[in-house]
């Protein structure tokens, strides 16, 4: 309902959870005259209605967009905006290929180049601007959850229904080998869906609040995950660490598989095998490394790299054995967890239920996360939920980057203090402008 000249009020019923007001707070409230419902789904170059510190100055479709600062911006003097929005003009240029963008940065045509490639960051900056100091490399350490990147087991497939089988297959992957040989040792192993934050269960024993939330569910959680001592094994980096592979074989045996004539097979002699569907060369090379380790204990893993449209179609319909997916995490997890891990999402095509979880206990713990009111209750709810996800072994955890890399022109300055979310471009400035 409209409240006053510039206010809108939302009133929630008893179906609203803790996150509902936050979600509504993200919605823009637009005037009726600026909306054309009949053409809402059509693209346009007409500048949209906005209330931010910049206006669109020029647009070159497919090339660039330039923003200019609005001197009459309504919020320029409020405390949270002091020291931000320091540029009179910002131009965003579009490049078809990242190599072309990097060449533009090397020449000085672009001022800021965020880099997410470990090999590139380590080896690609031997050019005159860096040597002279005209270009600078900065490393920032945010305090955000790591998220979870991993190979996802599609539990809709019969071969992946047993958690012991999934756990055994997870141990086979040699992170130390991959990190050293593929990524210049830049990554850290991911041990939790919310690692690097207070929401993570990694290294933290379950307290009384968690145990109360879990109730009988705690019996499904591995003791080392419950007491905070859980850690994925560290291999010798050979790609065939015999001690770790022995642990994997033992878990697969509990799931009904033994090595018969050099092949990992079930009681009927059927070899354990599955297909890893990949989307690009980067995913494929990691899958190949995993495939080699699987072969060492007689598991037949094949790799199929498909084009983008086929990958999207097969992912939407859950037509795969294993895929590589990234589950992003925030400090405010909520309703997105329903689409990822609830039982209801398992059969709903197009959701993020890539693993196909079907566990009433997960549904209960998601509900705890959504309904928590105090900060302590919320932390306990997320940690207990994290523990059950880890104990269920739906995902073979891979790695994460705990740093942000940005190359910049020397004349672009930034504050020394790094905010919680890492570097923030709106508070950077041009040191050549007084």
| CATH number of the domain enclosing 292 | 3.10.105.10
Residue 240: inside a domain, yes or no?
A: yes
Residue 243: inside a domain, yes or no?
A: yes
Summarised one tens digit per residue, pLDDT across range 231-249 is: 999 999 999 999 999 999 9
Residue 90: inside a domain, yes or no?
A: no
- Mean pLDDT for the stretch of residues 179-186: 90
Pairing state of beta strands 273-278 and 412-413? unpaired
In this prediction, what percent of the chain has a pLDDT beyond 90? 85
Residue 40: inside a domain, yes or no?
A: no
* Domains contained in the chain, number: 1
Range(s) of the domain holding residue 342:
148-400
Summarised one tens digit per residue, pLDDT across range 203-232 is: 999 999 999 999 999 999 999 999 999 999
Q: 147 in helix, strand or coil?
A: coil
Confidence band of 81 (pLDDT split at 50, 70, 90): very high
Gap between the Cα atoms of 342 and 22, Å rounded: 21
* Helix (H) or strand (E) segment spanning residue 277: strand 273-278
Residue 270: inside a domain, yes or no?
A: yes
pTM of the model: 0.85
Q: Alpha carbon 133 to chain centroid distance?
A: 34
Residue the block writes with tokens 């306990």: 380
Residue 267: inside a domain, yes or no?
A: yes
Handedness of CA 254, 257, 260, 263 (dihedral sign): negative
Residue 416: inside a domain, yes or no?
A: no
Residue 286: inside a domain, yes or no?
A: yes
Longest dimension (CA), the chain: 79
């Amino acid at each position: 309902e409209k409240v006053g000249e510039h206010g809108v009020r939302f009133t929630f019923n008893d179906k609203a959870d803790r996150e509902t007001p936050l979600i509504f707070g993200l919605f823009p409230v637009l005037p009726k005259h600026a909306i054309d419902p009949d053409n809402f789904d059509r693209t346009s170059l007409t500048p949209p209605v906005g209330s931010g510190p910049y206006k669109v100055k020029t647009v070159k479709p497919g090339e660039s967009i330039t923003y200019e600062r609005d001197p009459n911006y309504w919020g320029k003097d409020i405390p949270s905006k002091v020291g931000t929005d320091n540029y009179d003009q910002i131009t965003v240029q579009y490049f078809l290929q990242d190599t072309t963008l990097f060449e533009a940065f090397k020449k000085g045509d672009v001022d800021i180049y965020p880099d997410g490639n470990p090999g590139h960051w380590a080896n690609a900056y031997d050019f005159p601007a860096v040597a002279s100091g005209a270009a600078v490399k900065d490393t920032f350490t945010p305090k955000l959850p790591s998220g979870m990147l991993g190979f996802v087991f599609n539990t809709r497939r019969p071969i992946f229904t047993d958690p012991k089988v999934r756990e055994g297959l997870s141990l086979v992957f040699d992170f130390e080998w991959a990190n050293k040989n593929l990524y210049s040792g830049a990554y850290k192993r991911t041990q939790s869906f919310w690692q690097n934050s207070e929401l993570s269960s990694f290294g933290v024993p379950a307290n009384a609040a968690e145990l109360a939330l879990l109730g009988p569910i705690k019996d499904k959680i591995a003791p080392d995950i419950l007491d905070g001592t859980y850690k994925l094994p560290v291999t010798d980096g050979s790609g065939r660490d015999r001690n770790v592979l022995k642990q994997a074989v033992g878990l697969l045996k509990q799931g009904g598989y033994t090595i018969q004539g050099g092949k990992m097979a079930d009681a009927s002699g059927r070899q354990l095998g599955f297909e890893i569907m990949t989307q690009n060369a980067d995913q494929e090379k990691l899958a190949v490394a995993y495939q080699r380790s699987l072969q060492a204990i007689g598991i037949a893993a094949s790799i199929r790299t498909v084009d983008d449209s086929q990958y999207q179609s097969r992912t939407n319909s859950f037509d795969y054995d294993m895929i590589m997916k990234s589950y992003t995490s925030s400090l405010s997890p909520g309703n997105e967890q329903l689409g990822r891990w609830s039982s209801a999402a398992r059969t709903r095509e197009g959701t993020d239920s890539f693993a196909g979880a079907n566990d009433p206990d997960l549904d209960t713990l998601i509900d705890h996360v959504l309904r928590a009111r105090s900060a302590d209750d919320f932390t306990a709810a997320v940690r207990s939920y994290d523990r059950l996800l880890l104990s269920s072994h739906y995902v073979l955890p891979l790695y994460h980057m705990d740093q942000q890399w940005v190359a910049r022109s020397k004349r672009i300055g930034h504050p020394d203090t790094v905010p919680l979310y890492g570097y923030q471009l709106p508070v950077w400035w041009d040191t050549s402008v007084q």
